[in-house]
Structure 1
Amino acid sequence: MPSARRLVAATLAAGLLLATAACAAEEPAGPAVKTPRPTETALPAPPQPVLAPLRGTIAPEGAMKRPALAAKIDNHEGARPQLGLERTDIVFEELVEGGLTRYVAIWHSDLPDEVGPVRSVRPMDPDIVTPFGGIIAYSGGQEVFVDMMMNTPVVNAVFDFDDTGLFYRDDVHESPHDVIVRATELVGRHTELPAPPAQFEYAEASAVPTSVTEGPGHSALQLRFSDSRWPSWVWDAAGGGWLRSQEGEPDLDAAGAQLRASNVVTLLVEIDEDTFPDIPRTLMIGAGEAWVSSGGSTVHGIWRKDSPAGSIRLVSDLGTPILLAPGNTWVELVPSSGSVEIIP
């Protein structure tokens, strides 16, 4: 017979087995554990390069979605050096009263924080800015001229009417040549506006501008608006651009660098001196002689603008569209009473 100690041990072992089995029966089996597969996250497509409409240069797609900003920029000696002219896409120089000139400057691909000094509008400005759409900033003007500008499809930002802090007077220039507009803030308030359409035709990166293929090379342009204003441009082969001077002195930006352009488009224009007493009006709707300077050469042709909303078309004497060099452009609206000299 087994001893009492062995019977107790056997009984305890059997009890443990029964208890373990009972506990195992009471606990439900857990779900099968699956190893998760790594999910594949679709990466956003990189921005595709596009052509900047007012420069003909390659730019990131998203950077071109904002509207253009035009501003009426002072060119009185007291307004120099101006803010932001070195970053413009296109600048128009026009004759105003007293034989002086002012600018209609356009920014799109490169927008400064501030530009100026801004001044009042003139009767030709609506025909200049309408093709660009977007925004026009200025400091006021005669009521008839302001009304003309207000009747365009362009958003008007006017110093005289502003109570939102878009404009201010700086302490660098003396009044009235001291009104500055906060350009980035102004454009940021109108993100719903579309980008501007192209205004000129440009040679592709692998091609050369029409001035090089059809025109002779030369070193300088000498232009005369009046006895008070005679800008000039000298070809800088090392820098690949035209350097600007006014009345024989280098025309400098706020950082002390000479203003430059990839293209200088010179248009001979008629001036209406009768409709508005003492205010010359450049006639932008019409046609006339043109000289387009790019790449150290100049091609002669004609310009034509058929309507306020139409862009300026340039055709060479051979009947071909004039292709500009990619880059910024200055448009010189030289009155027919002035002169254009191409210097070899």
Structure 2
Amino acid sequence: MAGHAARAVGRTAAFAVLGITALLLAGCTTDGPPRPTETPEPTEPTRAVPAAVAAPAPIAFAPIRGTLVEPGAAAHPSLGVKIDNHVDARPQVALNRADVVFEELVEGGITRYLSIWQSDVPDEIGPVRSIRPMDPDIITPFGGLIAYSGGQEQFVDMMMSTPLPNLVFDYDDTGLFYRADERPGPHDVILKAAEAVARYPELPPPPVLGAYGAADPLAAPRFAAQPTSRIDAVFSDARFPSWEWDGANGVWLRSQEGDPDFEASGDRVRATNVVTIRLSIDWSYGEVPRTVLDGGGEAWVSVGGRTAHGAWSKAGRESMLALTADDGSPLPLAPGTTWFELVPLEDGSVAFAP
């Protein structure tokens, strides 16, 4: 009996060991609870990497037109040219490509232009005529070059006394000028404009013409701008230009003595901004009038089919003409071409039609 009991206890113990072993082996299977693992080292949280940001495109603007241009495209001097406005000189060459045009009274009651090209210099410009006593005061602050056909010795000396290189048809032996066979003399002198500018790469661009705004810069109530469909200026009985607002194209269209004014391309002469100023005339040079651009006076800026009243001022020959609104702030221009009508106080007039 004792032997049977001992064997039974042995078998029970063996079964117990086998059961424990089975339980331990079962704990090693994937169906059981996971085994403890070592705690991983902490890591930095994953951060989103932004996509590469493109560098902003470089921009530049034309200093006396205010329009955007490719960088470096306006890194050259301006070219001022004395342009004929006799009836036999019309239509003028490349007048619409000028950045700025000044219309001024000359002898006989007619007018001439001092036109300035910088952002868009054409191959040829003309007809080129002689200099007048107010031209040094107009062109000096722009710097660059001045081209003309000649003039009275005293007026040529005035222009020669400025820092600007003078390109003069009467003295030129380099081929910058020529006479156009299809035009009557003396209204036939043409300047090779692009070649002229290319000869002076060391000269800097002109300073900024004025304060530029948006396409409709006079919309703010503080300018008290009035709707304008037409501008009528009178220089004399012989010259009375006008401008009509073309809202569809956003430009002023020019007429002279009641007839539409065209340039040689066949396009109507046009401007984005028309600046009309009243000033005195100095008659100390006999029959040749000198427009007095010292001091200041009344001014109007017409742009976007509106006209705002203000004042003009010019501190001296080297100073750019400044425009101020009636509230004392700068009178802004829209980017584009600008015509200055220098209307005499005596015997001249200006009117703005709504």
What is the CA distance between 1:211 and its match in structure 2?
A: 6.2
TM-score of the pair, normalised by structure 1:
0.84
The residue type paired with residue 240 of structure 1 is G
The residue type paired with residue 54 of structure 1 is I
TM-score of the pair, normalised by structure 2:
0.82
Aligned equivalents of 1:46, 1:256: Cα separation in 2: 40
1:18-53 per-residue CA deviation (whole Å, 9 max, x = no partner) reads xxxxxxxxxxxxxxxxxxxxxxxxxxx997211210
Q: Higher mean Cα deviation, 208-217 or 118-127?
A: 208-217
- In the superposition, relative to structure 1, how do residues 341 and 170 fare at CA in structure 2: closer, same or farther (>3 Å)? same
Q: Higher mean Cα deviation, 91-100 or 195-204?
A: 195-204
Residues 1:303 and 2:312 aligned together: yes
Aligned equivalents of 2:171, 2:268: Cα separation in 1: 34
Partner SS for 2:156: helix
- Residue in structure 2 matching 1:172, options 182, 204, 207: 182
Residues 1:319 and 2:319 aligned together: no
- Residue in structure 2 matching 1:94, options 101, 104, 116: 104
2:339 alignment partner in structure 1 = 330
1:49 alignment partner in structure 2 = 59
- Alpha-carbon RMSD across the aligned residues, in angstroms, is 1.3
1:287-317 per-residue CA deviation (whole Å, 9 max, x = no partner) reads 0100100000000010000010100111111
Aligned equivalents of 1:132, 1:105: Cα separation in 2: 11
The residue type paired with residue 124 of structure 2 is E
- Residue in structure 1 matching 2:166, options 140, 156, 173: 156
Residues 1:282 and 2:288 aligned together: no
2:278 alignment partner in structure 1 = 268
Kindly report which structure 2 residues correspond to 1:1-344, keeping only aligned pairs within 5 A, or say none: 48-204=58-214, 208-210=216-218, 213=221, 214=223, 215-273=225-283, 275-337=284-346, 338-344=348-354
Q: Mark the runs of 5 or more structure 2 residues left unpaired by the alignment.
A: 1-54
Aligned equivalents of 1:47, 1:285: Cα separation in 2: 42
1:33 alignment partner in structure 2 = none
Partner SS for 1:202: coil
- In the superposition, relative to structure 1, how do residues 111 and 46 fare at CA in structure 2: closer, same or farther (>3 Å)? farther
Identity %: 58
* Contact persistence 1:211–1:293 (CA under 8 A): no
Aligned equivalents of 1:189, 1:94: Cα separation in 2: 29
What is the CA distance between 1:210 and its match in structure 2?
A: 2.6
* Contact persistence 1:135–1:156 (CA under 8 A): yes
* Contact persistence 1:211–1:298 (CA under 8 A): no
1:90-145 per-residue CA deviation (whole Å, 9 max, x = no partner) reads 00000000000000000000010000000000000000000110000000000000
- In the superposition, relative to structure 1, how do residues 84 and 211 fare at CA in structure 2: closer, same or farther (>3 Å)? farther
Q: Mark the runs of 5 or more structure 1 residues left unpaired by the alignment.
A: 1-44
| Structure number with bigger Rg | 2
